[in-house]
Amino acid sequence: MSVADSTGSADAATEFCIHCGQAAVGGEHASCRSPRTALEPPRFCSRCARRMVVQITPSGWSARCSRHGESTSGDPGDSAR
């Protein structure tokens, strides 16, 4: 699923798509960049491509990666990821 070294951690220079989990550079991401997808919370961690636990509430969302912690709809830069 991700580019990992012998310790199981992803390469620090590699970023992943938060919607499909594939490498952000290259690949086919047309469906990931659609206006409808922009409203969706992230499903994969952008740092390690692990599937995240996502909670959607009336006031927003939170997504938690087992390795990198939690992000919420109120975090700066969420729409840019």
DSSP result, 10-25: BPTT--B-TTT-SBSS
d(CA 42, CA 61): 9
Q: What is the pLDDT of residue 1?
A: 39
pTM over 0.85: no
Q: What is the pLDDT of residue 81?
A: 43
d(CA 43, CA 19): 5
Question: If you search the block for the tokens 């919370």, which residue do you land on?
Answer: 41
Residue 61's pLDDT band, with cuts at 50, 70 and 90, is: very high
| Token pair recorded at residue 71 | 């992000």
On the question of pLDDT at 44 being above 70, the answer is yes
Give the pLDDT mean for 60-81: 80
Indicate the SS3 state at residue 55. Answer: strand
How high does pLDDT run on average in the chain?
Answer: 79
Sheet holding 53-57, edge to edge: 53-57, 60-65, 69-72
